Amino acid sequence: LISRQSHPDRSIVRVGGVSIGPGTTTLIAGPCAVETPQQTLRAAQMARAAGATLLRGGAFKPRTSPYAFQGLGEAGLKILADVRGETGLPVVTEVVDAHDVELVASYADMLQIGTRNAQNFALLQAVGDAGKPVMLKRGMSGTIEEWLMAAEYVAQRGNLDIVLCERGIRTFETATRNTLDIAAVPIVQRLSHLPVIVDPSHSGGRRDLVLPLTRAALAVGADGVIIDVHPDPTTALCDGPQALVHEDMEELGAVMRGKSLWQ
């Protein structure tokens, strides 16, 4: 269903009036996790100033450690909806459990499936039934074939509004958190009609790599990027070291406008 054989032209996915796909380079930005109304609003304002048209932010956080901040749950979804009201930015947020799909879909404009759930087939089917666009991250140890088949699980439920997100894979390299598989972008665009975006924040796991990896993503033709921003990463409850700060936002805007691609 998602192959170029079944649909030769590349698709555009619409999220709350924002298009993702050929002819656009969409910036999705916001905090890794929703922490407070003020932090989320300030992150959204930073994102919008750089040209973001969609707000990201996790209310349900799939953390490696059960002792780490797990997200605010529904309270976080309410904050996201309020910030959407204040900024006009449609909301992309993760759902980690099939039982929560209806709840998350009642607040979100796009449902995110994270790397840890990339082959949670019951969850993929549930988001396929939810009537909202889906952003499907690649499993951290997933092949391109496995990633595309995961998207088929969503598509089989009659939902073809799927955006694929390359977010880095596990390799032997330890300098980065994950290795951004940049070749996956043109490969997947040739195999599937679905839009493909890149997450330079979770792939590198380092602030200093976010802009270089964004340039790389745009250079290979990604349909957009999703980026963590935080007004004060030293206090962040999740992934502070990879969050862009205020001073980075002007350059991010220039990169996104194609004005600073080759630095």
Question: In the chain, which ranges are continuous DSSP H helix?
Answer: 37-49, 74-87, 101-107, 121-128, 144-155, 184-191, 200-204, 207-219, 249-256
Name which of 61 and 84 has its Cβ closer to ligand PEP.
61
Q: In angstroms, what is the minimal distance from the CB of 137 to ligand PEP?
A: 5
134 within 8 A of 118, measured Cβ to Cβ: no
Q: In angstroms, what is the minimal distance from the CB of 32 to ligand PEP?
A: 5
Q: In angstroms, what is the minimal distance from the CB of 9 to ligand PEP?
A: 28
Name which of 22 and 205 has its Cβ closer to ligand PEP.
205
Name which of 5 and 174 has its Cβ closer to ligand PEP.
174
Q: In angstroms, what is the minimal distance from the CB of 219 to ligand PEP?
A: 21
In the complex, residue closest to ligand PEP by CB: 114
CB atoms within 10 A of CB 4: 14
Q: In angstroms, what is the minimal distance from the CB of 8 to ligand PEP?
A: 30
Q: What pairing do the DSSP bridges indicate for beta strands 110-113 and 91-94? A: parallel
Name which of 16 and 58 has its Cβ closer to ligand PEP.
58
Q: What are phi and psi of 114, to 5 degrees?
A: -85, 170
CA–CA dist 129, 137 (Å, integer): 18
Name which of 18 and 28 has its Cβ closer to ligand PEP.
28
Q: In angstroms, what is the minimal distance from the CB of 114 to ligand PEP?
A: 3
Distances (CA, A) of 65 to 68, 74, 195: 5, 21, 32
What does the binding site for ligand PEP look like in residue numbers (CB under 6 A)? 32, 58, 94, 114-115, 137, 167, 199, 202
In sequence order, what are the beta bridge partners of 244? Answer: 229
Residue written as token pair 């009642």: 106
Name which of 146 and 250 has its Cβ closer to ligand PEP.
146
